[in-house]
Amino acid sequence: MENIGDEYKLYWETTTFLQTEEIDSWGLDEALSGYYDSSSPDGAQSSAASKNIVAERDRRKKLNERLFALRSVVPNISKMDKASIIKDAIDYIQELHDQERRIQAEILELESGKICDSEEEIPALLRSKKKKIDQTFDSGESRASPIEDLELGVSYVGENTVVVSVTCSKRRDTMVKLCEAFESLNLKIITANITAVSGRLLKTVFVQAEEEERDHLKIQIETAIAALNDRENSVSL
């Protein structure tokens, strides 16, 4: 019935991203040209129906983009599931609430004992927080630099082993981001290696996976990295 299925083998968000534009392009043409209602005698009604179709398609697309954007601002995404994405977002927000509540408790305590002549007055929690700032002050500026000039190779080398090879230009936190991207995927990593030299960054990962998972793995990695870049650039989608 449908010819979309040719490239339709991958997971929803990637298919959405990679394909919605294409689909929508010819989908819109299809809708405008009235291809599917050739049996209906009424042209005006079919036009209205076509408009409805394209509107609905657009609505779905927007919703998926939003969902993808939501996923990109939530770390530790367990599953790519739509419902799971929302669930993880809820958990994450509650976690942030909890954390903020504790910090404010500390600040209240700090505020009540006003004389903070030296470091003795700062509770241990804040001190550790401070050290966290120290090491995230530059790396914690999460809007810094995206991962650029990326080249990704995935190849099956036998023994249920897939070798992933990534090169990109080395920016401020590229190494951290790249590690995060791979950690988030929960792969069965046999051995991994990152090397930074002369402005470039090379990462090689041996992953335990069947050959059939190869393409899926590549899409997964691309998606994770794209999500990282997305998180940097776009705030409102």
- The footprint of a second copy on residues 128-187 (CB under 8 A) is 128-143, 172-173, 175-176, 179-181, 183-184, 186
> What character string, x for contact with DNA (CB under 7 A) and - otherwise, covers 48-77?
xx-xxx-xxx-xxx-xx-------------
Closest contact distance (angstroms) between CB of 124 and DNA is 35
In contact, 194 and 175? CB cutoff 8 Å: yes
Strand partners, 70: none
- Residue 198: left (phi > 0), alpha (psi -120 to 50), or beta? left
48 touches which of a second copy, DNA, none (CB within 5 to 8 A by kind)?
Answer: DNA
Distance CA 175, CA 193 (A): 11
Helix ranges (H only) for the chain are 12-32, 43-73, 82-112, 124-136, 174-184, 213-233
The site for a second copy, by CB under 8 A, has a size of 95
CB under 8 A: which stretch of 10-18, 22-30, 68-76, 211-219 binds a second copy? 68-76
Q: Name the nearest CA neighbour of 33 among 16, 53, 6.
A: 53
Give contact residues for DNA (rule: CB under 7 A). Answer: 1-2, 4-5, 8-13, 15-16, 19-20, 23, 27, 30, 36-37, 44, 48-49, 51-53, 55-57, 59-61, 63-64, 80-83, 216
